[in-house]
Amino acid sequence: MQTSGWTPPLAVYVPEEEQQDIDLEWMKVALDQAEEALAAKEVPVGCVFVKNGKAIAKARNRTNEWRNATLHAELVSLDEILKTHPLPLQDVTLYVTVEPCVMCASALRQVGIGKVFYGAGNERFGGCGSVLDVNDTPSIQSSLSYPAFGGYYRPEAIMLLRRFYLIQNSNAPKPKNKTTRVLKTDILPIKSRTASPIATPDGSRTPLETELS
Ligand SMILES: [Zn+2]
How far does the centroid of ligand 1 lie from the alpha carbon of residue 18, in Å? 26
How far does the centroid of ligand 1 lie from the alpha carbon of residue 204, in Å? 24
How far does the centroid of ligand 1 lie from the alpha carbon of residue 70, in Å? 7
Q: What span, in angstroms and rounded, lies between the C-alpha atoms of 126 and 101?
A: 4
How far does the centroid of ligand 1 lie from the alpha carbon of residue 100, in Å? 5
What residue type is 11 in one-letter code? A
| Active-site residue, selected from the candidate residues 25, 35, 65, 74 | 74
Q: Tens-of-pLDDT digits for all 213 residues of the chain?
A: 444 565 656 788 999 999 999 999 999 999 999 999 999 999 999 999 999 999 999 999 998 888 888 899 999 999 999 999 999 999 999 999 999 999 999 999 999 999 999 999 999 999 999 999 999 999 998 999 999 999 999 999 999 999 999 988 777 776 556 555 788 888 887 754 333 333 344 444 444 344 454
- Residues 172, 109 contacting (CB under 8 angstroms): no
| pTM for this model (two decimals) | 0.83
**What's the pLDDT score for residue 67?**
86
- Residues 122, 207 contacting (CB under 8 angstroms): no
74 annotated active-site:
yes
